[in-house]
Every structure is written in structure tokens, then in C-alpha cells.
A and B are shown apart, each in its own frame.
Chain A
Amino acid sequence: MNIVNKSDFIASIVLFLTGIIFYFIIIPQEIILEDEAVIGPDLLPNICIILITFLSVLLFFRSINKVEIKQTKDTKKTDNSIYDPSTILNIRNGFSLIEIKRVFFLLLTILISILLFVYLDVLVASFFLIIGSCIVCGLRKIWVIMTLSTSLISLAYFLLYKVLGTAIG
């Protein structure tokens, strides 16, 4: 088996498994049919999942045996690279180790701040979210981090609580 596009190959397997799990486990458990309706409430979810599963199979076969097509596509991509803004930024393709680390820690920061919000206090959660994100992004100057977090929280308080009159926290 010749895997031409590794990310599509993995994505197709994940999507296929998701489709199977949804069709046989999640949809029957999560959509309980009360009576024999002609058009049941599970119609659209089932149609979506069947089509996703079918398309994941197509994606799987496209990712393993289209060597020539892939080469043509790559050539085309090189020709048009100047027109592709993601090429200019050079960030959208592929996963680098540093990016994965940063993404993981930023998500962890959001997760912990949610837990702090639920179990502790809104202010602590807000400070943790901003300071944690700053550290993940590589900011190290304490005065910048403290000024940023204080100003953002004050701005949110002023705009949402004082100007717009919402109930925050």
C-alpha cells in the first residue's frame, strides 16, 4: 500500500471510525424514537453520518493510490505558490513540534481557567487565562504581562458591565 497523503490517510480512518461509532452507538442511544414516524428525527443525522462514512472511504482510497495525480497537484501548487497567502505566512501546512506544544499548552490553559471559574472565582480564572496565554505565546516581561492582563480585565468590566449592563461573573 502506497500512502501518498499521510494526513488524508489518517483523517479518513478517523472519520470512518467516527461514522461507525455514530451510526451504531451514539445515534441509537442519543435519539430515542418515541413512535413510528414516517420521517423520524434521526433522518438527517443518519443521512449525514452515512454520507460522511462513504466519503471517508473515498478519501481513504484517494490518499493511497493517486501518485500521478498528487504529483500534478504538487506541481500546480508550486506554480501558484506566490498567490497562496498561507505560503507567504508559511504556517498553515504541516504540524511542527513547537506548534503542537504551544497549541497543547494554550488549550490546557483554557481548560484550567474553566475549572478555576467553576470552582474558584471569575477574577482568578480571568487572570490565569491571560497570564497563561501570554506565557504560552513566549511573553516573558512581567510588567507587559501584568499591564496586559489588568487592562484587558478592566476593559471587559467597563465595556460589558458598565456600558452594556451585562451580568458578568
Chain B
Amino acid sequence: MSFEVLSSVLTLNNISWIAFGVLLGYIVGVIPGLGKGTAVAVSIPITFYLSPLTGIAYLIGIAKGSTAGSAVSAILLNTPGEPSSAPTALDGYPLSQKGQASKALKMGLFASVIGDFSATLLLIFLAAPLAKYALLFGPVEVTAILLFSLTFIAALSGESLIKGLIAGLFGLLFSTVGMEVETATVRLTFDILELYDGLSLIPVAIGMLAVAEMLVQLGGLEALERQQKMLKGNIKAINQSISWAEWKLCIPAIIRGTVVGSTIGILPGLGASVASFLSYGLTKKAAKDPSRFGKGAIEGIAAAESADNAVVPSSLVPLFALGIPGSVIAAILIGAFIIQGVTPGPLMFVQQPDLVHGIYLSMICASLLLLLIGYFGQKLFSFVSLVSLRVIIPSVIFFCSVGAYLQGGGIVGVWLILFFGIFGYLAKKLDFSFVTFLIGFVVGPQFELSMRQAIAITPSFDDLMSHPIAIGFILITIIAVWKIGAKKKT
């Protein structure tokens, strides 16, 4: 890492934006219903006015802060800020009821930071070697890999394989709106001039993630308020410390959680919820007395939070190495990269190595800032979880509209968030995976381009036989869909 990289990362401006991102993310994470996807999507327009490094580091800071912050409401309210913190609530809330909320919150934070930091190191050591291999892939291989990623994500997201595939196909379909680059044919624009450049990711992501989530939350206002009333008695005695005996119980759980979270994060589509539940389950299985779990076992929190937070950095491995987003955050980050004129993928390591190293260093800074901000602000953040959604929803809707206006082509952007807000709301309520939709939408242009090139260079089946890697991925796709589809059926 060169001195230039160090000096560009360790500036007051850059560190301040990372700290602001972590702080904002932590606060958003604490508030039930506002996930990291919402926070990152709404914040993208701001990054347009920052340097590429600062903008991306700021967004990653939000994602990291939000993942860690969601444990606070899980522990205090029994209402996870994000689905992936649900296993944290299983032991965190009973501890909180026993008057040990502080201990639970501290362990949640330490496990989060350790998981996140370790997975960041994994990203640093794994992405570059993988990218070297990815540079050898041609359009046939890229098409096969994208096909595999999309179907795999569709198969694993939600309860139904059919619905997952439909969502992914809609994502691909919407990505074709606008002018087709090869033939300059205008597609599906309905004569709206602003759509000739295609649908911008920002209003689509804001609509699908933030607006849709706010619409869903409208139905649960009263239920959440009941939980908040119960919480008021739990925010006290924030000065408890974790004993050495408790650390001895938690260290193996944190290591296990980090390994599980990092592995699952690399695989596209599985997501943080799978990681945290799997890690929690494995820790419970390995425990001498599994009956303690669900009643306030502190290692349950350590297992879930370390895995949950390890997913964020490791899910960037396929994005950095192959240019393929494996998670919602990675999909939204592609939008941020493109705004900054950077194409994420293997070429990034060759063309902009300083930026990549700068992002790595910023991610490490974000981990350290997460520890500081989380530790010193814990009591304050606990009170944030008392803020009513009746105030949060209007605020989010307002900033969504402003963001979409700024980066979505003016007032058309606001129309788009309205359309995709309704679309996303229905998708969420009817269990059509919005994750698959967004990833389909993001990879759509690349998929279409590589598919056209692949068809041109492999017109017959015999030509395809000279691409064993592509055939391998196609076979894995068929087997994965077959197996997962059959499993979901039963």
C-alpha cells in the first residue's frame, strides 16, 4: 500500500465521512424497520458530491454501522432492527429482562466488530487473487456465471423458487428499458424522454427498498409502539462489564460465527439471516448445556452478531473479484461505483489499484470507528429505539423524494420511486424476492451484453463444448435449481 493511499484515506474529510456513515448506520440500525438497504439507498445521492473513495467508504460505513446497530433493538425491544438480528433477540431480550441489557449490548458490539474486522481482512486477501482468474473469463463464461448467480439467488431468497425466478426476470426486464447500445433501438420507454438513458438504479433502489419498507411498516405501527412502551424500563444500568468467564464462553462462538458469516457472505444470495441463524444453531449444538439458549445465553448473542457482521465485507468478494453483486448492499454499491465512474470487477484491480487499497483501508477504519462509536454511544443509541415510526416514516419518505429528485433525473425520479414503491410493497407482501429483483436489475445490462456476445461466438452446441467452465456453471445451475426446487416443494 503506497503512501499516497494512506494520505488519501487518513484525511480529516475522509475519516469524518466514514465516522458519519457509521454513526448514521448505527442509528438507522437501531430503529426497527429501517434496514441497511434503506439507509444506503437513500444516502447514494450524497456520494455524487464526494470523491469516489470517500463516497464508497461512507456507504460501507453505513452498512457496517447499521448491521451492528440492529442488535440494539433486538436486545432491548425483542424487535430486530434487521431480520438477520432475529437470533440475537432470542438470548439478548431475556438477558435484558434480567437487568443485564448492558452486558448483552456490549457483547453484541464486540462480536460485531470482531466479525466485521476479520471478514474485512478476508476480503483483502481473497478478492485480488480471485480477480486474476476472473480476468481470464470471456463472455460465454461471464454469461454462465451470471445465470448461475441469478438462479441461485432466486432459488434461495424467499420461500418459493418460482416466485424468486419471476422476481429476477422482472429485474432483468426493467433493466432493458432505454436505448439499446448495439442497435440504438429505444425500448419500453413509452415515449418518456427521461427514460431513454434507462432506469437509474437510485430511484429503483430507493423505491424498492426504502419506500416499500415504509409502506410495509405502516401496518405494524401499533405493535411496535407496544414493544417500545415495554422497553422504557430496560434502559438502565449501562455500566455492567463482561467477566473473563463469559469471554471464555464467547470466544469460540465469535470464531465460529466469523467463519460461518464469511463463508456465507461470499456465496451469492444466502445473506446475513442465514449466516446468523446457522451460527447460532451451531453454537447451541456445541454448547455443554444447550437448554440455556433462548433464556439469556450470552454466547448466543456473540455467535449471531459475529456472523451477521462478517457477511457485509465478505459479500463484497464476488463484487470486487467478479463484478457480480451477491447481496442487496453489493447491488446498491454498484450504483455508487458507477456514479463515480468506476466499474466494479476484476479490471478495477488493474486500472484503479489505489482506489481498491483505499477502500480496504477505509473499511478497516470503519471497523475501528464502529467500536468507538458503538461503545461510547450505546446508552444514547438505546434511546433512539424509542423514537416513534410515526416520525420516522415521514422523514424517510421526504429524504427518499429528495434523493430520487437529485439523482433520478428530476421529477421523473420521484414518479419512479412511487411506482417502484408500490411494486416493492406488493413484492414484499406477496413474498416475491426484492433482493433477486434488484440483483437482476443491476446485472441486467452486463448479462444482456455478454449473452449477445456469447451467442455470436458460440452459434452451435459444438462451439459451446470448447468452454468447459461455462458448461460447468450451467450444469451447477441446473442441479442447484433442481435440488433446491425439489426441497422447497416438500
Binding site for B on A (CB under 8 A): 7-8, 11, 15, 26-27, 30-34, 37-45, 48-49, 51-52, 55-56, 58-59, 62, 69, 72-73, 82-86, 88-96, 98-99, 102-103, 106-107, 110-111, 113-114, 117-118, 126, 129-130, 133-134, 136-139, 144, 148-149, 152, 156, 159-160, 164-166, 168
**Contact pick for A107, options B162, B187, B216, B422, CB 8 Å:** B422
Q: Tally B residues with Cβ within 8 Å of A.
A: 80
Q: Is the CB of A85 within 8 A of B80?
A: yes
Q: Is the CB of A88 within 8 A of B80?
A: yes
Q: Is the CB of A91 within 8 A of B188?
A: no
Binding site for A on B (CB under 8 A): 32-33, 46, 49, 78-80, 82-83, 85-87, 89-90, 159-160, 162-163, 165-166, 169-170, 172-173, 176, 180, 182-183, 185-190, 214-221, 223-224, 273, 277, 389-391, 393-395, 397-399, 401-402, 405-406, 411, 414-415, 417-418, 421-422, 425, 428-430, 432, 444, 447-448, 451-452, 455-456, 489-490
- Specify which chain A residues have a CB less than 8 angstroms from the CB of B398 in the assembled complex: 126, 129-130, 133, 152, 156
- Specify which chain A residues have a CB less than 8 angstroms from the CB of B170 in the assembled complex: 48, 52
- Specify which chain B residues have a CB less than 8 angstroms from the CB of A138 in the assembled complex: 221, 390
Q: Is the CB of B173 within 8 A of A137?
A: no
A37 to B85, CA, bound (A): 51
How close is B70's CB to chain A, nearest CB, in angstroms?
A: 10
Q: Is the CB of A88 within 8 A of B89?
A: yes
How close is B222's CB to chain A, nearest CB, in angstroms?
A: 9
Q: Is the CB of B421 within 8 A of A107?
A: yes
Q: Is the CB of B190 within 8 A of A137?
A: no
Q: Is the CB of B429 within 8 A of A51?
A: no
Q: Is the CB of B406 within 8 A of A168?
A: yes
- Specify which chain A residues have a CB less than 8 angstroms from the CB of B430 in the assembled complex: 7-8, 11
**7 nearest A-B pairs in the assembled complex, by CB-CB distance:** A91-B220, A99-B219, A133-B394, A85-B86, A41-B180, A41-B185, A48-B173
**Contact pick for A165, options B49, B415, B447, CB 8 Å:** B49
Q: Is the CB of A51 within 8 A of B165?
A: yes
Q: Is the CB of A114 within 8 A of B414?
A: yes
Q: Is the CB of B173 within 8 A of A39?
A: no
Q: Is the CB of A114 within 8 A of B219?
A: no
Q: Contacts A15-B166, A37-B183 given; indicate if A91 touches B402 (C-beta within 8 A).
A: no
How close is A74's CB to chain B, nearest CB, in angstroms?
A: 11
- Specify which chain B residues have a CB less than 8 angstroms from the CB of A156 in the assembled complex: 398-399, 402
A82 to B89, CA, bound (A): 10
Q: A39-B452, A134-B391 are in contact. List 15 more A-B contacts (CB 8 A).
A: A8-B160, A15-B166, A31-B185, A38-B456, A44-B451, A45-B187, A52-B170, A55-B169, A93-B429, A103-B215, A110-B397, A133-B398, A136-B218, A137-B391, A152-B394
**Contact pick for B456, options A39, A55, A102, A130, CB 8 Å:** A39
